[in-house]
Amino acid sequence: MLDPIEHLARDDKWYLGAGDGTLFAPTYPSWLDTPGFWDEATVYQYAFAPLFTVTVLDATGRELPLTATSRRWTPADLTVTYQIDAGHTATEVRTVHPGGVFVSEWRFAAVAPTRVHLVAWTAQDGATVPLGEATWADGAVRWPRMLSDRRQQPLRVRAELACVGDVTSYAASRSERSAPQPHWRHTPFVEQWRAGALPRAVRDAGITPDGLFYAAVHRMVDVGYQGASAVFAMKITADDDALRVDAAPRAVRPTHGTIAGASRRRWHAWFEQVPQLRCSDPYLETYYYYRWYGLHLNATAAGHGNHRWPSMCDGPGFFHQPISYSAQCHARELRWLNDPAHARGVLRTFFGNQKDDGALHGRVYANHLTGTDYYHADWGGALLALDAAWPDDAFIAELYPAMAQFAEWLVRTRDADGTGMFDVVDQYETGQEYMSRYQAVDPDADRYGWENRLRLKGIDVTVYAYQLFRTLERCAATGGGDATRWAALAARTRDAVRGTMWDAASGMFSDVHPGTGERTGVKAAVCFYPYFTDLVDASHVGGLKASLLDARQFWTAFPVPSSSLDDPLFNAEAEWKGKRHVCPWNGRTWPMTNSHVVEALAAASRLGAPTLRKHTGDLLKRFVRMMFHDGDLRRPNCFEHYNPHTGHASVYRGIDDYQHSWVADLILQYAAGVRPHAGGVTIDPFPLGLEQLTLTGVRVRNRTLEVRLVGSKFTVISGGDRIESALGDAVELAD
C-alpha cells in the first residue's frame, strides 16, 4: 500500500501542524537550518515568534558549531542532520503536536565516548511578557505572553520551555534589547554558565519589561558508542478556556516509541480515514494525498465541533495564520472522511459564530480576511454536498435556523431594492481586489482603497444567494421553516439571472451596474458560476462553449484565468496598472475559481452537451498539474494564484497550502466518478484518459464501495454486488 507520509516526503518544505490550530508555517523563514523553531509559529491564528533554539556545548562549556548537511520533510516531521566536528554528528527531528506543543528531538553519534551539554533557549519580546510572572514549575520555565493580531486584537497565552526527562539546570532573566537572533553568544547565559550548568534561577525583574526575556533549560548528555538522545519542547496554550478544543492535559512523552513516532501515528491515522486512491496518472494520485495533508494541516479547531472564538470575533480583527482555509471548501472535502463529524464541525463553527443580526464573520470563514460581514460562499451547496454523502435530518434541523437568519440578512442588506440580484459592497467581501468588474462601477476605486463602500450586483454572489434559497426551500420541512418563502426568493433571483444578467448576444452572464441597471459586460471566470446550478438550461450551453473553451479568452495553457485575456486590464504577471500585487484578480489563475468552473463544466455536460465531459476531464488534469513546481512530481503546492500561461505560482506571496478550493472532492467525483445525491449514489467516471484507477474505502450514504477503472471499463463493488460498466454509462446505486 502507498504510504502517504513517505510519498509526500521532500527537502524543500517545512510546514508542520497537528490539525488543531497549532502550526509551524512561517511564510519567509530565515532559520530553517538552525536547531529548533526560531521562525514564527501560529497558535489559534496568532503569530508567536521566536519559539526556541538548541545550542550544543562541549564538556568545558564552549559552543560547538552545527552545520546542517541535509533537511527532509514529511507531513509528520522535519528532520535535519548536522555535522558538529570530525567526531560528532547529530540528527534533529522537529514535530508539532496537539495542544500547542513544538518538539525538538535529538540523536547523537560519536566515534568515542564524550560529554556534551544541550541548552534549549528562547529570547522573547520582553514588553509582551508581563513583569514578575515567570516561574520554574514542574520541570519547565513558564511565562505568560500577550499576543496581538494585525488588528491589535489581544490574546494572552502561557508558554513553557522544558526538557523531556531529567533537567540538569535552567535559567531565566531579562536584558535590554540586543539582536533577537538564535546566536548563543548574544545570550546572558554565556556569562551565567558556571561549573557546567546554568544558575538554576528565574530572575524576572528589571525597571521596565522592555527588551528581551531569556529562558533556558539544560541537559547534560553522555554520548557513548551506542549514541545518545535528548528531547526539548515548548508548549503554548491560550489563557482563554473558550479557545481550548480539549481541556484535558496532553502529555509530551509518548506511551511508547519516540515523540516523532507519535506524530507519524497521528498522521497515519488521519490518512486512514480517507478513501484510498491509486491511479495511473501520478499527478492526480500525488495531489490527492497532498490535498488531504493540507486539509489536516488547516483543520483547526473548527473541524472538531461547535467552537467559539470570542477574543477573535467580538469586534474587528484579522486572522494571522499564514495558511488560509475556507469553510465551504473544507466542508465539501471533509465529507469524504469515514466520519462526518469534521465536515459538520466546520459548518457548526462558522454558523455558531454568527452575528446577532444574521451576518457572518469573515474572520472565521477565511483567516486572511478583515472582520467585514462575509457571504461570498456557496453555503447552500456546501450543506447539500455534505448531506448527500451523510444524510442527517437532525443536522439539517440544527443548522437551518442560522442559515435562514443569514439568508434574511442577505435579502435585507444586499438586495434592499428587491431586484433578486445581490450586491457586492466592497472587494474585501469577495476577496477579489484589482479587477475590471469593480472598475466598471467606479474607475477610481483603486485610488482610495478597495474597502470603499460601493455597490455592484455581482453574478457570483447572486448565484450563491440562489443556491442558499434553494437549499432552504428543500430543508424547510425538516428545519421547521416556510418553504414558500424561499421558493419565491429563488424564483425572483432565477428570473433576474436569466433575464437581466444573461446577455444572449455575447453568450455570457454578467454583473449589473446598480445605478443604470445595465450589464457591465466585463468577462470574468465568475460569469460561469450559474452553470453549476439549475439556473441554466440547454439554451445557455453554446455561450459556455464559445467563451470558456476559447483560447483567446479563458482556455489558456493553465486555465482558467480570473479575467478574460481580452480584458483591457488583463495581466498574467500579477500586475495591476504597472505594479505587482499580492491578490490580483485581473488575469491570474486562482484555484478557488477553478474548483467552481470544473463543477460548472461537469454540470453543463448533462444539458445535452456530452462532449463537455472530455473538456471537464482535461480541465481537471490541467488544474492539478498546474499545482506542481515546474511539473516536478516531488513538489506539489497550492498557492493563491498562478500565471495562466506558464503556471508559475505566486511564490513571492509566501503562502503555500492555500485551502480556498476543493480538489480531492473533484478527483473523487469526476476521476473516480462517485457522486452521492439524495436517494442514492451515481458512479460515473469522466474521461480523463486514465489507464487505471482504483478507489477503495469510500463510505457514503450508509454504504461502503470501491471503484476499479481500467481503460474505458470500470467496476463498482458495493456490499455483495459487483457491477461492470463502461465510461459514459453511469451506474446508479439506490438507497
Mean pLDDT for 146-161 is 89
Is the pLDDT confidence value at 330 over 50?
yes
- Give me 3's grid cell: 504510504
Are 277 and 252 in the same domain? Answer: no
- The kind and range of the H/E element at 604 are helix 591-604
Q: What pLDDT is attached to residue 701?
A: 97
Is the pLDDT confidence value at 76 over 80?
yes
Residue in the block written with cell 520551555: 161
Q: Which amino acid is at 446?
A: D
Are 176 and 226 in the same domain? Answer: yes
Residues 428, 432, 435, 436: what is their CA dihedral angle, to the nearest 10 degrees? -80
572 within some domain: no
pLDDT one-digit tens code per residue, 80-139: 999 998 888 999 999 999 999 999 999 999 999 999 999 999 999 999 999 999 999 999
294 within some domain: yes
Q: 222: pLDDT confidence band, cut at 50, 70 and 90?
A: very high
477 within some domain: no
What DSSP letter does each residue of 114-130 carry, written as one string? Answer: EEEEEEEEEEEEGGGS-
Are 13 and 153 in the same domain? Answer: yes
Question: What rounded mean pLDDT belongs to the chain?
Answer: 90
Are 188 and 306 in the same domain? Answer: no
- The kind and range of the H/E element at 731 are strand 731-734
As for how many domains the chain has, the answer is 3
Q: What pLDDT is attached to residue 319?
A: 32
- Of 396, 414, 432, at which residue does a domain stop? 414
**Domain that residue 287 falls in:** 273-414
What DSSP letter does each residue of 154-211 carry, written as one string? Answer: EEEEEEEEEESS---EEEEEEE-----SS-GGGSTHHHH-BTTB---EEE---S-S-S
Give the three-class secondary structure for 68.
strand
Mean pLDDT for 293-313 is 56
Are 189 and 338 in the same domain? Answer: no
Residues in the chain: 735
Q: Which residue in 651, 701, 648, 696 sits closest to 672, CA to CA?
A: 696
Q: Which residue in 145, 61, 65 sits closest to 100, CA to CA?
A: 145
Q: Which residue in 243, 244, 249, 250 sits closest to 266, CA to CA?
A: 250
Q: What pLDDT is attached to residue 443?
A: 76
Are 22 and 76 in the same domain? Answer: yes
The CA distance from 461 to 10, in Å, is 39
Q: What pLDDT is attached to residue 152?
A: 80
Q: What pLDDT is attached to residue 362?
A: 60
Q: What pLDDT is attached to residue 244?
A: 53
- Of 366, 397, 414, at which residue does a domain stop? 414
What DSSP letter does each residue of 210-232 carry, written as one string? Answer: -SEEEEEEEEEEEEBTTBEEEEE
Are 241 and 152 in the same domain? Answer: yes
* pTM of the predicted structure, to 2 decimals: 0.94
Are 144 and 14 in the same domain? Answer: yes
Is the pLDDT confidence value at 730 over 50?
yes
162 within some domain: yes
Is the pLDDT confidence value at 174 over 80?
yes
Mean pLDDT is lowest, of 148-157, 309-318, 435-444, for: 309-318
601 within some domain: no
The CA distance from 702 to 617, in Å, is 28
Q: What pLDDT is attached to residue 44?
A: 76
- Give me 705's grid cell: 464501495
Q: What pLDDT is attached to residue 85?
A: 87
